[in-house]
Amino acid sequence: MTARPIAVVGASAAGLAAAEALRRGGWRGPLTLIGDEPHLPYDRPPLSKQLLHGAWEPDRLLLRTEEQLAPLGLDLRLGTRATGLDVATRTLTLDGGERLGCAGVIIATGVGARTLPGADRIAGVHTLRTLDEALALRGRLAHGGTPGLRLVIVGNGVLGCEAAAVARELGHDVTLVGIEPTPMAAAVGTEVGELLAEEHRARGVRLLTGAVDGFETAPADPDGSDPQITAVRLASGGPPGSGAAGGSSRLPADLVLLAIGSRPAVEWLADPALDTTDGLRCDEYCAAAPGIYAAGDVARWDHPVHGRPLRFEHRMNATEQGMAAARNLLAELTTTADATGVAEDAPAPERRPFAPVPYFWSDQYDLKLQAYGLTAGADRVEATVLDRAERRVLALYGRDGHAVGVLAAGLPPRRIRALRAVIATPLPWEEARERIGAATAGD
């Protein structure tokens, strides 16, 4: 009996980790890796930092070269989009009309950039989620080697702040606009966000609070090309002292970056057996349905430690969850007729709940933020500024009386690593405070 393939949808960090884990785990049957971009799997965090700055070229982002992928024996489908999935039969439909019956499917399609109405028809308005998008924006920022372009970044979350730092280092005039008055407040809290705001202002970034009301463009050329952006209109208003645009709602712009968040890439998953509310809903084993698993930014799964469904758009989580999904899928397949693709001498895997300690980082100028656990959605935040001039800060995040996350900037690496153990399992708030104090004594 010929084994049906396992298909990994998404040639991403999560997808690649899943494919490699499947081979390590003993899958010897056909293995298909499907990616909608034409590029080999690449690393995405440097898009808004090293690549945008020009310090790195695209080949440095590759997670594996063609030679390194060859031993996996992949049926590699780049530039191919999955358009549908029949859950009952585990059959994928691809954009060319091909139907692919599978032993199992791992979905690692990640997220796409949110945009604003009409923005895709205006030259000079960019998003920054893919390699091609990053190269397009980099080409404009490096245009003629001339600094001083007026860049308006809409969205003051992680992506917007990182891009603002790069653009300022390249010598451009940067305005950072957010609907919240404090940069990255949703991710790190107001106190840490205010410290970031100070750093951006000190570097010359103009911070405004407001919502985009529309765009202004130059008249389109007769050759049919898209009209060029000339200004961003902001809705008037905002709380006093917030830096809101108020009555001055027109921001002249040579370039605009929309960094207003992401949307999980689940629009192609129309099967009613799947829950695609805020990502693909999975159980604690990363399973969305029998034989169907998910990993990375697209997965919203039951975290067994925190006791609720979570979805992380963090690089380390993508790799760890890709491996976990592969292991658990193989464990499931060993009990079915599709076990024919598993090597006979492969160790029998067991399904294990996926319970990572989340980790993320953000580089802005010389400042590196690092966080473990859950920092977003906290109902209590205690931030201690250890050295304002050096931007050294330590913050503890709580939920329902327990400490669930910790963030640090400017601390020695050994101190930051010690913080992970404190919130690996939620602790009562006061106990966590004492352990944080002990772990950072002398800083």
- Tens digits of pLDDT across the chain (443 residues): 568 999 999 999 999 999 999 999 999 999 999 999 999 999 999 999 999 999 999 999 999 999 999 999 999 999 999 999 999 999 999 998 999 999 999 999 999 999 999 999 999 999 999 999 999 999 999 865 567 899 999 999 999 999 999 999 999 999 999 999 999 999 999 999 999 999 999 999 999 999 999 999 998 777 768 899 999 999 865 443 344 444 558 999 999 999 999 999 999 999 999 999 999 999 999 999 999 999 999 999 999 999 999 999 999 999 999 999 999 999 999 988 777 888 877 777 789 999 999 999 999 999 999 999 999 999 999 998 888 888 889 999 999 999 999 999 988 877 888 888 888 999 999 999 998 888 776 65
Strand-pair category, 6-9 with 104-107: parallel
Q: Which fold has domain 115-258?
A: FAD/NAD(P)-binding domain (3.50.50)
Number of Cβ within 10 Å of residue 286's Cβ equals: 29
- Residue 352's nearest CA partner among 60, 25, 50 is 25
User: What is the CATH number assigned to the segment(s) 366-439?
Assistant: 3.30.390.30
How high is the pLDDT of residue 443?
Answer: 57
CB 187 within 8 A of CB 158: yes
Angle between helices 315-333 and 13-24 in degrees, nearest 10: 40
> Percent helix, strand, coil in the chain (nearest 5)?
30, 30, 40
Q: Which amino acid is at 11?
A: A
Q: Alpha-carbon distance 383 to 400, whole Å?
A: 18
Q: Alpha-carbon distance 311 to 180, whole Å?
A: 22
Helix (H) or strand (E) holding 14: helix 13-24
Q: Alpha-carbon distance 4 to 103, whole Å?
A: 5
Helix (H) or strand (E) holding 370: strand 367-373
How high is the pLDDT of residue 386?
Answer: 84
Listed in sequence order, the residues at least 6 apart from 234 whose beta carbon sits closer than 8 Å to its beta carbon are 177, 208, 210, 211, 212, 213, 245, 249, 250, 251
Listed in sequence order, the residues at least 6 apart from 276 whose beta carbon sits closer than 8 Å to its beta carbon are 264, 266, 269
Q: Alpha-carbon distance 67 to 74, whole Å?
A: 12
Q: Alpha-carbon distance 218 to 245, whole Å?
A: 23
Q: Is 360 helix (H, G, I), strand (E, B) or coil?
A: strand
How high is the pLDDT of residue 345?
Answer: 77
pTM above 0.75, yes or no: yes
Listed in sequence order, the residues at least 6 apart from 55 whose beta carbon sits closer than 8 Å to its beta carbon are none
Please report the sign of the dihedral spanned by the C-alpha atoms of residue 320, residue 347, residue 107, residue 8: positive
CB 358 within 8 A of CB 317: yes
Q: Alpha-carbon distance 69 to 72, whole Å?
A: 6
Q: Which amino acid is at 147?
A: P
How high is the pLDDT of residue 442?
Answer: 60
Strand-pair category, 262-264 with 299-303: unpaired
Helix (H) or strand (E) holding 93: strand 91-94
Q: Alpha-carbon distance 294 to 274, whole Å?
A: 11
Listed in sequence order, the residues at least 6 apart from 97 whose beta carbon sits closer than 8 Å to its beta carbon are none
User: Where are the CATH 3.30.390.30 domain residues in the chain?
Assistant: 366-439
Q: Which fold has domain 6-112+262-341?
A: FAD/NAD(P)-binding domain (3.50.50)
Angle between helices 158-169 and 190-202 in degrees, nearest 10: 20
Strand partners, 244: 209
Q: Alpha-carbon distance 350 to 208, whole Å?
A: 52
Residue with the two structure tokens 């103009």: 206
How high is the pLDDT of residue 246?
Answer: 46
CB 51 within 8 A of CB 134: yes
User: Where are the CATH 3.50.50.60 domain residues in the chain?
Assistant: 6-112+262-341, 115-258
- Residue 45's nearest CA partner among 115, 108, 112, 134 is 134
Q: Which amino acid is at 368?
A: K
